[in-house]
Structure 1
Amino acid sequence: MKMKKLIFICIFISSILLVPFGLSEEKAPDFSLEDINGEIFTLSNHRGKIVLIDFMATWCPPCRWEMHELKKVRKNTSEEDVVMISIDVDYRESVDDIKRVFGEYVDEWIFALDTKGVSQLYGIKVIPTLVIIDREGYISFRHEGAMHSDLLISKIEEIGGPKIYVSHKPSHPKAGSAVKFSAEVYGKNVRNVRLWIQECSKSMCYFPVEINMSEVSSGHFDATYTLRNDTIYFHYKVLAEVDGKNIESQTFNVTVEKKSEKTPGFELMIVLIAMLLIFTRVKKHE
């Protein structure tokens, strides 16, 4: 019964081909599948790349039509930057079925049978369904129904365009302490990467400052900044020039813990206890 419903949905979609697409910001569930060549595909191994997942079946007409569009996508995107995998959601099918129906495409990108329930993990109710996962592992795009290659390429370029991802350690810094800021910058011709930060005390916000970040590896930049003793929170973001354009990351607001008061060290406590014992003995002999 479920398969008949899925077939009906598939035929219905083949009559309209395109339905409105939507965005999502949920973390993409990790999974591992054995592809039709016996290699293991693990989603988390492709962090830092754009991943396009095509949920399909060999008997689905729009799925077959879309293969030609996906081939255009493969030819117009970098294999080093965009990973493509087509997952057959029908557990009754075999590797031979995939090779027989999609033989002209199986050498172009990854194909696999859904032997681990990945379609359920992603809540797939319609085929074909396309899912695009961004470099940070979030689902940035989901589309039910076949999609033309030009629209799909445009969406991939939008998601995979120049971006800056930032982080800081410790996550809960203290006033007066040093904070390490890191940035991953994606794009070509990256230069002039700077940390922008503004500190605020109880009474005022200080003028923001910019400091240059050092490239520690390809596309990865670090900078260390020492907070003021009276800082209670700060704002920060990272700026950069990528492909001749100025871009910036999201702005983050961070609450700062109060600077801890100094307490006597262990050695001082030992000295005080020793002095107290000596004083007590002297008193006894008086």
Structure 2
Amino acid sequence: MNSYSGTNYDRWSYEQAAKGGTLADTPINKLQHKFWVAKQKVSRKLGKEEDEHIVASDSQLDAKLELYKSIESTTCRLQFLMEQYQDRIYFLAGEENALGRFLKEEGKKDKTRAGKMMIAAGKTMSYTGQQRLAIRVPLVRLYQEVETFRLRAIKDMKQTVETMEKVRNEYRGALMWMKNVSTELDPDTFRQLEKFRKVQIHVKDSKKRFDKLAVDCLQKIDLLAASRCNMFSHALIMYQNTLVSFWDKTAKTMNHVNNGFKGYQHYEFSVIKDLATPAQEWIY
């Protein structure tokens, strides 16, 4: 092995590592590599500054990761709001139906034209409450689409990101290890040079795996964003059409009731300003 030197040695050592050789896989090397990887994880957790050039090289990936985090958080938030929205629709439809029944019952007790108006308004409110429940149908469909998107697409993306982050920590830990070894490197000392080359193998192997996963993340996040837009463009059409149909039906019903009672004389209320004359002051 001593006959190998320079670039020939680098090529040979890297080929041995790629073939599963033991040059860079000795227990000591593994332990040292794990130490620097753990140190890298701790540094990131504590928010310590990293090499600006390394951070800048991952700027495109980090920007895409921010997009992924936004997609994940807004999707979960949307699902929560849709649950609340459906509850509000149920509550509002129930209140409209209850108000409609009340107006119809009280209208039957009043034999004047006002009673007829109360009955008509009550029927309109009950009809509105029934029609409002139809909005829930496209909402359930949209909720299912969002849930499937979250449980499958986002979950798969999360696993890819976690794997990438693990490999990125290994890669940056290997870089920290190589930087530490290079500060003590003496080109005239064969053992130190051999140790440096072993560390280089770890760096090259980690970088190769990290680059592959980084490309996977970039492509998957773009696909994730496009898939979400495509999902909304299809699922929201049904909701929009149902909502427009609901307002058309209820508006026509209310206009019909309004036109049927045109010219009706409204009640004239008399406001009593004083209920009694002011009490006279006692004269002693």
Higher helix share: 2
Higher RCO, Cα 8 Å, sep 6+:
2
Q: TM-score, normalised by structure 2?
A: 0.20
What is the TM-score normalised by the length of structure 1?
0.19
